[in-house]
Structure 1
Amino acid sequence: MFLNISVLSFMLGFFFANILSTIPAQTGEWNIMSGSIIVTLNEITSKKIYSHRVVNQYLVFELLNNIKIGIVYGLFVDAFKLGS
C-alpha cells in the first residue's frame, strides 16, 4: 500500500513539473521567476523534511519528499527534451 502511494506522489510531482515548466513559459518573461520560485520551494520543503530527527516515521514527509523528487525529475526530463 505504501509503495503505491509513494509512486502516485512521485508521478504527481512529475505532473506538477510539467505544469510549472509550460504555463509560465508561455509569455517568455517568467522563466527566471518561475525557476527561482521552484528552487525556493524545493529548498524550503527540504529544510522542513530533513529538520526532523526521525524522517521515516512520518508518512506526510515521505509523500512531500516524493513529490519534490518528482518535480526535480520532471524538470530534468523537460530540460533534456529542450536540449535535443
Structure 2
Amino acid sequence: MLGFFFANVLSTIPAQTGDWGIMSGAIIATTNEILSQIIYNKNKSFINNLINNTKIGIIYGLFVDAFKLGS
C-alpha cells in the first residue's frame, strides 16, 4: 500500500506543470534499476524485502494510473 501511495504522489505532483513528465519518468526508472541492483546483489533481510515490496507497489501503481488515463 505504501508503494501504491507513492506512485500516486509521483504521478500527480510533477505532472501539474506538464513539462516534468519525461524527467520524472526517467528518475523513477533509474531509481528502480538502482534499487534492483542493490537488493538482488545482497542477502535478503527485512529492510531489503520492505524496499523491494515498496518498489513493486510503485510500479503497480504507475501501471494502474496509466490504465486509468488510457480508458
Q: With structure 2 as the length reference, what TM-score do the two structures score?
A: 0.98
Distance in 2 of aligned mates of 1:51 and 1:36: 23
Q: With structure 1 as the length reference, what TM-score do the two structures score?
A: 0.83
Paired position in structure 2 for 1:42: 32
Question: Any idea what the Cα deviations from partners look like across 1:32-71, whole Å, max 9, x if unmatched?
Answer: 000000001000100000011x32xx00000000000000
Query: Match for 2:54 among 62, 67, 75?
Result: 67
Paired position in structure 1 for 2:70: 83
Larger Rg over CA atoms: 1
Any stretches of 5+ residues in structure 2 without a counterpart?
none
Greater relative contact order (Cα 8 A, min sep 6): structure 1 or 2? 2
Percent identity at matched positions?
Answer: 70
**Count of residues in Structure 1 that have an aligned counterpart in Structure 2:** 71
Any stretches of 5+ residues in structure 1 without a counterpart?
1-10
Distance in 2 of aligned mates of 1:43 and 1:13: 16
